[in-house]
Structure 1
Amino acid sequence: MDGFDKLDLDLLRLIVEEPRAGVREYSRRLNIARNTAQARITKLEKAGVIVTWRPQINLAPLGYAVMAFVHVHIAQSQVNETLERLTAIPELIEANTVSGEGDLLCRFVARDNSHFEDVLQAVMKTEGVLRTRSEIVLSRRIWPRTIPIVEKLRAEN
């Protein structure tokens, strides 16, 4: 946790919990100058802690009710090219290089199971993809979260 103190972590918690509050409100709640809050936010951004200010979107109400994790095995000589080709599939919403089963762990969305089958066929037809293994999400019990780690770091600091 090099270079981050309790104030940084308190600010980070506010940003995660209320991203629309704004710098002025963060500085008011933390009882610090607005410039101090802005400087700390800039530091968190430059360090790669704050990656985006985009909202987290639930695609199910937009008609994409199926989510699946797909382990993708790819030809080792074509990793970057295959990943670039896969990005042409709009239903691909996340891809991670992993150890263990497969080379990539991708998260896809689809309107329904039939549509997911079409998406999976598109993945398998992608040049460089050798095989896949899919797991359909039945329900999301815990959304992506970071506050527990921020709280742990704050307690350790």
Structure 2
Amino acid sequence: MTELDDTDRAIAQALQRDATVSAGALGRQLGLSQPATWRRIRRMEEAGILAGWRADLDLPALGLGVTVFLGVKLATKSRVSLEEFERAISAIPEVQAVDHVLGRYDYRLRITARDLADFERVLRRRLMTLPGLGDIEANVLLSEERLPGPL
């Protein structure tokens, strides 16, 4: 495990707020040179601490007005059935997140769709045909009050 000092944590926190900030600008904020800041960023990338860079999209602006959380319980829970389900669910583009969880359900899925009719199409044509599918429960997102923020 890579040890992080206060400067590394400050860099990670700043990048979590705005991943587009340049190493030079970030270095100026923290009292570091651009090369020193870049070396720290690269070290955290190589250690897997900075696991990737992404853009947050405005789903309604893209025409995706419905988000549904789906609890999925598999009919059987062998290693093969879990792997088959995960492979099949990963091929469905409307499924934005797949979380293997402990509790009433085996998986929690985050699904985006244009509207409820589009979600119903995804549910009937794609999700209900998955291997090993047992019980499901859908919860439609009404609003998102807290967006993920820096750790």
TM-score (norm 1): 0.86
Report if aligned partners of 2:23, 2:37 keep a CA contact under 8 Å in 1. Answer: yes
Q: Once the two structures are aligned, what percentage of the paired residues are identical?
A: 27
Aligned residue number for residue 61 of structure 1: 61
Would the aligned equivalents of 2:2 and 2:47 in 1 still touch at CA under 8 Å? no
Aligned residue number for residue 92 of structure 1: 95
Give 1:47 deviation, angstroms: 3.0
1:123 partnered with 2:127: yes
Aligned length: 147
User: Structure 1 CA distance, aligned partners of 2:52 and 2:58?
Assistant: 17
Q: Report the residue type matching 1:62 in the other structure.
A: L
Deviates more, 1:99-108 or 1:47-56: 47-56
- Alpha-carbon distance, 1:24 to partner: 1.4
2:108 paired with 1:105: yes
Partners of 1:17 and 1:55 in 2: how far apart?
11
User: Structure 1 unaligned runs (5+)?
Assistant: 150-157
Segments of 4+ moved more than 3 angstroms: none
SS in 1 for 2:128: helix
Which has the larger share of helix? 1
Structure 1 contact 67–107 (Cα < 8 Å) conserved: yes
Aligned residue among 109, 125, 146 for 1:142: 146
In structure 2, the gaps of 5 or more residues are none
Query: Does 2:33 correspond to 1:33?
Result: yes
The Cα of 1:2 is off from its aligned counterpart by: 6.2
Task: Output the CA distance in 1 between the equivalents of 2:48 and 2:133.
Answer: 31
Number of the residue aligned with 2:6: 6
- C-alpha separation between the residues in 2 aligned to 1:124 and 1:16? 36
Spell out, residue by residue over 1:49-85, the C-alpha distance to the aligned partner (whole angstroms, 9 max, x if none): 2221111112221111100111111231211111111
